[in-house]
Amino acid sequence: MKFAFCLFKYFPYGGLQRDFLQIAETCISRGHQIDVYTGSWTGDKPDALNIVILPPKALTNHRRYQTFAARINHHISTTPYDAVVGFNKIPGLDVYFAADVCYRALAMERSFLYRLSNRCRTLMALERSVFDRHSTTLILSLSDTEKKRYIACYGTPEDRFHLLPPGISKNRVSTASIPEMRNDFREKFSITNDMRVVLMVGSDYKRKGVDRAIKALSALPSPLKKKIRLMIVGKGRKGPYLRLAKRLKVAAQVDFFGERDDVPRFLAGADLFLHPAYHELAGMVLIEALSAGLPVLATDTCGCGFHVDRAGAGMLVPSPFNQETLNRMLASMLTSEKNKKWGSNGKKYVKQTDVYSMHQKAADLIEKGYPPKT
The CATH number of the domain holding residue 365 is 3.40.50.2000
Residues whose CB is less than 8 angstroms from the CB of residue 364 and which lie 6 or more positions away in sequence, other chains included: none
Residues whose CB is less than 8 angstroms from the CB of residue 179 and which lie 6 or more positions away in sequence, other chains included: none
Structural domain containing residue 41: 2-165+357-369
pLDDT given at position 59:
87
* Residue 374: inside a domain: no
pLDDT given at position 163:
93
- From the list 240, 250, 253, 221, the residue with the least C-alpha distance to 327 is 221
Task: Give the 3-state secondary structure of residue 18.
Answer: helix
Contact status, residue 160 vs residue 131, Cβ threshold 8 Å: no
> What single letter denotes the amino acid at residue 258?
G
Q: Are residues 13 and 152 in the same domain?
A: yes
By the 10 Å C-beta count (0-12 exposed, 13-18 middle, 19+ buried), 141 is classed as buried
Q: Are residues 199 and 343 in the same domain?
A: yes
pLDDT given at position 57:
85
Q: Which residues pair with 38 in a beta bridge?
A: 7, 53
Q: Are residues 185 and 283 in the same domain?
A: yes
Taking CA atoms, 106 is separated from 113, 146, 202, 223, 279, in Å, by 14, 11, 21, 39, 9
pTM, entire model: 0.84
Starting at the edge strand that comes first in sequence, how are the strands of the sheet with 83-86 ordered? 50-53, 33-38, 2-7, 83-86, 95-98, 138-141, 161-163
Q: Are residues 160 and 205 in the same domain?
A: no
b/e map 152-187, b = 16+ CB within 10 Å: ebbebeeebbbebebbbeeebbbbeebeebbeebbe
Q: Are residues 297 and 204 in the same domain?
A: yes
* Residue 326: inside a domain: yes
Alpha carbon distance 146, 61 (integer Å): 24
Tell me: cis bond preceding 320? Omega within 30 of 0 counts.
yes
pLDDT given at position 371:
44
pLDDT given at position 13:
82
Q: Are residues 27 and 145 in the same domain?
A: yes
Q: Are residues 268 and 331 in the same domain?
A: yes
Please report, in tens digits, the pLDDT of each residue of the chain (374 residues total).
Answer: 999 999 999 998 888 999 999 999 999 999 999 999 999 999 999 999 999 999 988 889 899 999 999 999 988 888 999 999 999 999 999 999 999 999 999 999 999 999 999 999 999 999 999 999 999 999 999 988 899 999 999 999 999 999 999 888 776 655 556 888 999 999 999 999 999 999 999 989 999 999 999 999 999 999 999 999 999 999 999 999 999 999 999 999 999 999 998 999 999 999 999 999 998 888 889 999 999 999 999 999 898 999 999 999 999 999 999 999 999 999 999 999 999 999 999 999 999 999 999 999 999 999 986 444 44
> What single letter denotes the amino acid at residue 226?
K
Q: Are residues 51 and 179 in the same domain?
A: no
Q: Are residues 240 and 329 in the same domain?
A: yes
* Residue 157: inside a domain: yes
The DSSP-derived string for 205-267 is HHHHTHHHHHHHHHTS-HHHHTTEEEEEESSS--HHHHHHHHHTT-GGGEEEEES-S-HHHHH
Alpha carbon distance 241, 252 (integer Å): 13
Look at the chain and report how many structural domains it folds into.
2
* Residue 196: inside a domain: yes
Q: Are residues 104 and 175 in the same domain?
A: no
Contact status, residue 51 vs residue 41, Cβ threshold 8 Å: yes
Alpha carbon distance 258, 213 (integer Å): 16
Residues whose CB is less than 8 angstroms from the CB of residue 139 and which lie 6 or more positions away in sequence, other chains included: 95, 96, 98, 130, 131, 147, 150, 156, 160, 161, 162
* Residue 48: inside a domain: yes
Task: Give the 3-state secondary structure of residue 285.
Answer: helix
Provide the CB-side half-sphere exposure for 342 (13 A, CA).
22
* Residue 93: inside a domain: yes
* Residue 158: inside a domain: yes
Q: Are residues 182 and 250 in the same domain?
A: yes
pLDDT given at position 116:
94
Q: Are residues 139 and 288 in the same domain?
A: no
pLDDT given at position 169:
76
pLDDT given at position 172:
65
